[in-house]
C-alpha cells in the first residue's frame, strides 16, 4: 500500500514541492487528490534530498498547501496501447474524450520512449508521392523521414498537411485498401477550430477510422502539452513497429510545445539560454523528432510532419533553428507567395529534403529527377537575382537573359507551384511540367544537367 502525503510545501506556477518524501524516483507519476475529490496527475521532475518537485498536468489552480493528498504511483508516465485506438480521440495525456469509454489495452508503454540504436535503423529510401509538385519534385518526402513545415501565422500550413495526409495514402502500391496506413495527429495548444478542421477533413476524405487524435487545445493545461507529442509518438511507434503500419504523424504546433517547455523551465528557476528557452531545448526536441524512422525486423514506418509557426516569420528563431538542425530538411512557406495567392506557397529556395537523393532517380522515380531538381533550384535562384535587379532599374532595363528569367519565374509560380487543394499530380506529370518550364530558358543556361539527360528531355531550342 503506497503512502499518501497530506498537503504540500510549496506551489509555484505548474509546480508543487513536497518534502519528507523517501522513495520517489525520477520522472515517477503521482496522483494529487483534492479535498473535493478531484484527481490530477503529475510527474516528478527533480529530487533533492527528501524534496520532490512535481509538475501537475492539469495545473495548480484551486490547490492549497493543505487541501491535497499526494500519492506516488510507482511508475513513469505510461500509455495503454491497442489497435482500437484508431478512430479514437484522446486528450493530451491519452485519456479518451470522445465519450466512447476506455479501450482495451494490449500493451502499456513508457511514453518517453528509448533511443533507436543506429545499427537497428533501416536507411529510408522509399519515395512517398504527395501529389504536390513542389514537394515531390524538389523536396521529396521519404517514408520514415521527419520533414517539418515551417510556416507563419495565417498561412495555409494546415491545409497543406491535410493534403499531404490525404494524398500520400493513395500512392502506396501494395496497400490498395489502405489497411496498412494510419495517421497519428497531435494538437498542442492549437485552437478548437483548427482541431475541428483536421477532424472534418479526415472525415470527408474517409480516413477518420485510420486516425488517432491527441488533443491538447489552447485552453488546456500547459504542462500536459509536454506529454502530448510523447503519447502520440508512443502510439505511432506501437502501430508501426508492432502492427507493421505506415504511420504519418502530424504534430502541430511545435512552437506552442516549445513555449510550454519554456514556461515550465522558468517556473523551475532554470538558467535560460537563447530567448529564455532552456538549454536542453535541442535535446528535448530531438527526443521527439528522432522517433521517426524505419527499423530492421519490422515492416512499418513512422514518418513525421511537424508543423511550426515561426514567430514573426523568423527562421533564425530558436524553435525553427534547432528543429532544422534535427529534422531531415524542411518545407518552408513564403509569405510573399501566399499574398500573391499561390497555393501551396512553398518557398523552394529555403526548403530542402535531406533524404531525397537516395529515394529518387532510376528505379524510384525517374532518371532525370535529381538533375531536373538541381536545375530548377539553380534557375529559380537566378530569378530572385533578376527580380532584385528589376526592383532597382525597372524590368524594361533588364538584359534579355534576365527578362527570360523573370518570365520563367512567373510561369514557375503559376504553373508549377500553384495547384488545387485536391489536385493530385503524379510524379510523371510533375517532372514533365518541370521540363516544360525549362523550355523557356536557352540550353546554355542549363548547367546542372548531365548532357545525356539534357539531350533526352530538353525540348527547347
Partner 1 sequence: MAIANGTIFGINGPVVKVKGSDAFEMQEMVYVGDEELIGEVIGVTENETIVQVYEETTGLKKGEPVRGTGGPLAITLAPGILSNIFDGIERPLKDIRALSGAYVTRGLKVSNLDESREWDVEIKAAQGDYAHGGDIIATVQETSLIEHRVMVPPDISGRIEWVAESGKYKITDVIAKVSVGDEIKDITIAQKWAIKKARPYTERQPISRPLVTGQRVIDAFFPLAKGGAAAIPGGFGTGKTMTQHQLAKWCDADIIVYIGCGERGNEMTQVLQEFSELIDPKSQRPLLDRTVLIANTSNMPVAAREASIYTGVTLAEYYRDMGYDVALMADSTSRWAEALREISGRLEEMPAEEGFPAYLASRLSQFYERAGYVTNLNGTEGSVSIIGAVSPQGGDFSEPVTQNTKRFIRCFWALDKPLAYARHYPAIHWLTSYSEYLDELTKWYSENVAPDFMQKRERLMAILQEESSLMEIVKLIGADVLPDGQKATLEAARVIRVGFLQQNAFHADDTYVPLEKQNKMMDVILLFDKRIRECAEKGVVLSKVAESGIADDIIRVKYTIGNENIDAPFEALKDKINETFDRIIG
Binding to partner 1 in span 86-145, by CB under 8 A: 110, 112-124, 144
Report which of 50, 52, 32 is spatially closest to residue 42, judged by C-alpha positions: 32
Under the binding rule (CB under 8 A), the answer on residue 381 touching partner 1 is yes
- Binder to partner 1 among 35, 39, 325, 460 (CB under 8 A)? 325
- Cα separation, 135 vs 369, whole angstroms: 12
Under the binding rule (CB under 8 A), the answer on residue 370 touching partner 1 is yes
**Strand pairing partners for 314?**
none
Take residue 155 and report the three cell numbers written for it: 498561412
Tell which positions 161-190 bind partner 1, by CB under 8 A. Answer: none
- Cα separation, 148 vs 330, whole angstroms: 5
- Cα separation, 427 vs 443, whole angstroms: 24
- Binder to partner 1 among 80, 96, 311, 350 (CB under 8 A)? 350
**For partner 1, how many residues bind (rule: CB under 8 A)?**
85
Under the binding rule (CB under 8 A), the answer on residue 312 touching partner 1 is no
Q: Which stretch binds partner 1 (CB under 8 A): 59-67, 198-206, 252-260, 320-328?
A: 320-328
Under the binding rule (CB under 8 A), the answer on residue 311 touching partner 1 is no
Q: Which stretch binds partner 1 (CB under 8 A): 213-221, 245-253, 286-294, 334-342?
A: 286-294
- Binder to partner 1 among 23, 336, 396, 461 (CB under 8 A)? 23
**Strand pairing partners for 110?**
78
Please state the closest distance from residue 102 (CB atom) to partner 1, in A: 26
Cβ–Cβ under 8 Å, residues 407 and 440: yes
Under the binding rule (CB under 8 A), the answer on residue 461 touching partner 1 is no
194 alpha-carbon distance from chain centroid = 15
Under the binding rule (CB under 8 A), the answer on residue 378 touching partner 1 is yes
- Cα separation, 167 vs 181, whole angstroms: 12
User: What is the DSSP-derived secondary structure letter of residue 409?
Assistant: H
Q: Which stretch binds partner 1 (CB under 8 A): 54-62, 179-187, 191-199, 377-385?
A: 377-385
| Residue 221 vs 278, nearer CB to partner 1 | 278
Tell which positions 240-279 bind partner 1, by CB under 8 A. Answer: 241, 270-274, 278-279
| Residue 170 vs 295, nearer CB to partner 1 | 295
- Cα separation, 160 vs 151, whole angstroms: 11
Under the binding rule (CB under 8 A), the answer on residue 336 touching partner 1 is no
- Binder to partner 1 among 6, 10, 20, 26 (CB under 8 A)? 26
Under the binding rule (CB under 8 A), the answer on residue 355 touching partner 1 is yes
- Binder to partner 1 among 99, 219, 444, 461 (CB under 8 A)? 444
Q: Which stretch binds partner 1 (CB under 8 A): 10-18, 228-236, 333-341, 376-384?
A: 376-384
Cβ–Cβ under 8 Å, residues 257 and 226: yes
- Cα separation, 77 vs 262, whole angstroms: 21
Under the binding rule (CB under 8 A), the answer on residue 159 touching partner 1 is no
157 alpha-carbon distance from chain centroid = 11
Report which of 213, 226, 186, 234 is spatially closest to residue 58, judged by C-alpha positions: 226
29 φ/ψ sector (left φ>0, alpha ψ -120 to 50, else beta): beta
Report which of 91, 342, 98, 304 is spatially closest to residue 203, judged by C-alpha positions: 98
Beta strands in 136-219 (DSSP E): 141-142, 149-151, 181-190, 211-217
Tell which positions 48-77 bind partner 1, by CB under 8 A. Answer: 48-50, 76
Q: Which stretch binds partner 1 (CB under 8 A): 95-103, 153-161, 282-290, 305-313?
A: 282-290
Please state the closest distance from residue 356 (CB atom) to partner 1, in A: 11
Q: Which stretch binds partner 1 (CB under 8 A): 26-34, 88-96, 189-197, 247-255?
A: 26-34
In degrees and rounded to multiples of 5, residue 127 shows phi and psi of -65, 135
Please state the closest distance from residue 448 (CB atom) to partner 1, in A: 7
Q: Which stretch binds partner 1 (CB under 8 A): 7-15, 30-38, 288-296, 299-307?
A: 288-296
Quote the radius of gyration of the chain (alpha carbons, Å): 25
Under the binding rule (CB under 8 A), the answer on residue 398 touching partner 1 is yes
Cβ–Cβ under 8 Å, residues 193 and 201: no
Under the binding rule (CB under 8 A), the answer on residue 321 touching partner 1 is yes
Q: Which stretch binds partner 1 (CB under 8 A): 11-19, 32-40, 171-179, 371-379?
A: 371-379
| Residue 94 vs 320, nearer CB to partner 1 | 320
- Looking from the CA of 213 toward its CB, the CA atoms found within 13 Å total 23
Under the binding rule (CB under 8 A), the answer on residue 413 touching partner 1 is no
Cβ–Cβ under 8 Å, residues 75 and 29: yes
Amino acid at each position: 500500500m503506497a503512502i499518501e502525503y497530506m498537503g504540500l510545501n510549496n506551489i509555484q506556477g505548474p509546480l508543487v514541492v513536497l518534502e519528507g518524501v523517501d522513495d520517489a524516483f525520477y520522472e515517477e507519476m503521482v496522483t494529487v487528490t483534492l479535498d473535493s475529490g478531484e484527481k490530477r496527475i503529475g510527474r516528478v521532475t527533480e529530487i533533492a534530498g527528501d524534496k520532490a518537485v512535481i509538475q501537475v498536468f492539469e495545473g495548480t489552480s484551486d490547490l492549497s498547501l493543505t487541501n491535497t493528498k499526494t500519492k506516488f504511483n510507482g511508475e513513469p508516465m505510461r500509455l495503454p496501447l491497442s489497435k482500437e485506438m484508431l478512430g479514437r480521440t484522446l486528450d493530451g495525456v491519452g485519456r479518451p474524450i470522445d465519450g466512447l469509454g476506455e479501450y482495451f489495452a494490449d500493451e502499456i508503454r513508457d511514453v518517453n520512449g528509448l533511443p533507436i540504436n543506429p545499427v537497428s535503423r533501416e536507411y529510408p529510401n522509399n519515395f512517398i508521392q504527395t501529389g504536390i509538385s513542389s514537394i515531390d519534385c524538389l523536396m521529396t518526402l521519404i517514408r520514415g523521414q521527419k520533414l517539418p513545415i515551417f510556416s507563419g501565422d495565417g498561412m495555409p500550413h494546415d491545409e497543406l498537411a491535410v493534403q499531404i495526409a490525404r494524398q500520400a495514402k493513395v500512392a502506396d502500391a501494395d496497400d490498395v485498401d489502405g489497411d496498412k496506413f494510419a495517421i497519428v495527429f497531435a494538437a498542442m495548444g492549437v485552437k478548437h477550430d483548427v482541431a475541428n478542421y483536421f477532424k472534418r477533413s479526415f472525415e470527408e476524405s474517409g480516413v477518420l477510422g485510420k486516425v488517432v487524435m491527441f488533443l491538447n487545445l489552447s485552453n488546456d493545461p500547459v504542462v500536459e502539452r509536454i506529454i502530448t507529442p510523447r503519447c502520440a509518438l508512443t502510439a505511432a511507434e506501437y502501430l508501426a513497429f508492432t502492427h507493421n503500419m505506415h504511420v504519418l504523424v502530424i504534430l502541430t504546433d511545435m512552437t506552442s510545445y516549445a513555449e510550454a517547455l519554456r514556461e515550465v523551465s522558468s517556473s523551475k528557476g532554470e538558467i535560460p539560454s537563447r530567448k529564455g528557452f532552456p538549454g536542453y531545448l535541442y535535446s528535448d526536441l530531438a527526443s521527439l523528432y528522432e522517433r521517426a524512422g524505419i527499423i530492421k525486423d519490422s515492416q512499418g514506418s513512422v514518418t513525421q510532419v511537424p508543423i511550426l509557426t515561426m514567430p514573426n516569420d523568423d527562421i533564425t528563431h530558436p524553435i525553427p533553428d534547432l528543429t532544422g538542425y534535427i529534422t531531415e530538411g524542411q518545407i518552408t512557406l513564403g509569405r510573399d507567395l501566399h499574398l500573391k495567392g499561390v497555393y501551396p506557397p512553398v518557398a523552394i529556395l529555403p526548403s530542402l529534403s535531406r533524404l531525397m537523393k537516395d529515394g529518387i532517380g532510376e528505379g524510384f522515380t525517374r532518371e532525370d529527377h535529381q538533375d531536373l531538381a538541381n536545375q530548377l533550384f539553380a534557375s529559380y535562384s537566378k530569378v530572385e537575382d533578376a527580380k532584385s535587379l528589376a526592383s532597382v532599374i525597372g524590368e524594361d532595363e533588364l538584359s534579355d537573359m534576365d527578362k527570360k528569367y523573370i518570365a520563367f519565374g512567373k510561369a514557375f509560380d503559376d504553373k508549377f507551384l500553384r495547384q488545387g487543394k485536391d489536385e493530385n499530380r503524379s510524379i510523371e506529370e510533375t517532372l514533365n511540367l518541370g521540363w516544360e518550364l525549362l523550355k523557356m530558358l536557352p540550353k546554355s543556361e542549363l548547367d546542372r544537367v548531365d548532357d545525356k539527360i539534357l539531350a533526352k528531355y530538353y525540348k527547347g531550342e
